[in-house]
Amino acid sequence: MREEKLPGGLRHYLRWARTQTGLTTRKWNSKRIAFVSVLIAISVVFFIVSVRIIPISALPSFKFSFIGLPVKITGFLFGPLVGIITGVLADLISFALVPTYYHYLYTIVISISGFIPGLCAYYYFNLNELLFSKKYRLFKFNQIVSYYKRQYDDALTKQNYEDIQYFSEQIAKFQVKVIALEATTKPKAMINFSFISTLALLALQITLTLVIFSKLDPTIFEHNRFIKNKDFYLFLVISGLLAMSVALIFYRVFVRKRFQLFLEIMAIVSFCAILEFINVFLLAWADTETLKTDFFVNLTGQAITNPIKIFWNLAIILATYKIVAPLVKSREGDRF
């Protein structure tokens, strides 16, 4: 008979992690389909109404400002695959109802707008919880208590009083740890994981922006629709991202009880930053192919509004998410 080992270690953690299947998959059902259908319809309605009010919104780059928000929320709520499907359908249906400029790159952009939020939701909520929540520690400590209780019973049978004393002390020790852990309300590890991830992402975007745009010919900026001076242009783009970083640091220092809100904000800021950076290049390329305009003019024009878009998307998506998410969770449980 193989000797029983004390629970713990990497293999023990991986066995536990494989049991957490509820964190990663969720089957389709009629209610899930209904929610996704409604969000697709909202995307299309947003676009149609915006075209009636502001005709310029029919232009591809402006179009995604209206249909992109519900797509991002769908991906954030239901995962990357659903986000892609929602983006493709929203783009094709809106184009069928209001024909305008079309290029496959635009469909790719809106698909990514659903895919990236789904990945970030998984990373910041599911993976974060799997790695840094107290669930595994509670599971391990309870298993250790059960292990020592079995050893205690065996020692009691053998009348080994030295082992009885030792195992009873270990049982009490880990029972205290379980009680203390259950009483902990502030998930510091999860908070720090999301905070450091978001700050590192913004720092990476600032670095890439400096590296890429500082190498561009200054004459390109003379044709920019907003800023003509290269140095002032870089200052504005970087200052917006720096302001977001400072705001997040300030929020982290003073965060007290609303931990879930903090995690949601970190996730939304991250996927908005990733999307805006990717969309700068894809939309500039698509506009160049479709509208026959200069790529670098499109590139600089898209990039200058990135920080504003991140702040705007954060406000709108967070407000909408706080309304929609409880409705989804009340019917489906967790996000995925």
Segment 190-204, tens digit of pLDDT:
899 999 999 999 999
- What pLDDT is attached to residue 26? 52
Q: With contact defined as beta carbons under 8 Å apart, do 221 and 233 qualify?
A: yes
Does 25 have pLDDT greater than 50? no
Structure tokens at 234: 């870089």
- What pLDDT is attached to residue 116? 94
Identify which of 270, 254, 267 has the alpha carbon closest to the alpha carbon of residue 321: 267
Quick one: DSSP state of residue 103? -
- What pLDDT is attached to residue 227? 73
- What pLDDT is attached to residue 266? 93
Question: What average pLDDT does range 247-270 have in this prediction?
Answer: 87
Q: Indicate the average pLDDT of the chain.
A: 80
- 198-240 confidence digits (pLDDT tens): 999 999 989 988 888 888 888 777 766 667 778 888 888 888 8
- 107-149 confidence digits (pLDDT tens): 888 899 999 999 999 999 888 888 888 888 888 889 999 999 9
Higher pLDDT, 261 or 44: 261
Does 91 have pLDDT greater than 50? yes
- What pLDDT is attached to residue 50? 64
Burial of 253 (0-12, 13-18, 19+ CB in 10 A): exposed
Burial of 101 (0-12, 13-18, 19+ CB in 10 A): middle
Q: With contact defined as beta carbons under 8 Å apart, do 124 and 136 qualify?
A: no
CA dihedral of residues 166, 171, 173, 178 (deg, nearest 10)? 170
Q: With contact defined as beta carbons under 8 Å apart, do 232 and 306 qualify?
A: no
CB atoms within 10 A of CB 99: 9
Does 38 have pLDDT greater than 80? no
CA distance 72 to 202: 19
Among 9-18, 53-62, 189-198, 200-209, which stretch is predicted with the lowest mean pLDDT? 53-62
Does 14 have pLDDT greater than 80? no
Q: What percentage of the chain carries pLDDT values higher than 90?
A: 13
Among 18-32, 183-197, 243-257, 311-325, which stretch is predicted with the lowest mean pLDDT? 18-32
Identify which of 227, 234, 318, 210 has the alpha carbon closest to the alpha carbon of residue 272: 318
Question: What average pLDDT does range 269-285 have in this prediction?
Answer: 87
Q: With contact defined as beta carbons under 8 Å apart, do 86 and 36 qualify?
A: yes
Identify which of 230, 319, 305 has the alpha carbon closest to the alpha carbon of residue 64: 305
Full-model pTM: 0.78
Does 277 have pLDDT greater than 80? yes
- What pLDDT is attached to residue 73? 87
User: 99 pLDDT band (50/70/90 cuts)?
Assistant: confident
Angle value at C-alpha 181, between 179 and 184, nearest 5 degrees: 110
User: 53 pLDDT band (50/70/90 cuts)?
Assistant: low
Identify which of 277, 261, 243 has the alpha carbon closest to the alpha carbon of residue 325: 261
With H, G, I as helix, E, B as strand and everything else as coil, classify residue 71.
Answer: helix
Helix axes 30-53 and 60-78, enclosed angle (nearest 10) = 160
User: 336 pLDDT band (50/70/90 cuts)?
Assistant: very low
Residues in CB range of 318: below 8 A, 6 or more apart: 264, 265, 268
User: 77 pLDDT band (50/70/90 cuts)?
Assistant: confident
Identify which of 78, 89, 169 has the alpha carbon closest to the alpha carbon of residue 115: 78
Q: How many residues does the chain have?
A: 336
- What pLDDT is attached to residue 304? 76
Identify which of 105, 79, 133, 68 has the alpha carbon closest to the alpha carbon of residue 263: 133
In the chain, domain spans:
134-183, 186-318
Q: What is the distance of C-alpha 24 from the center of its chain?
A: 14
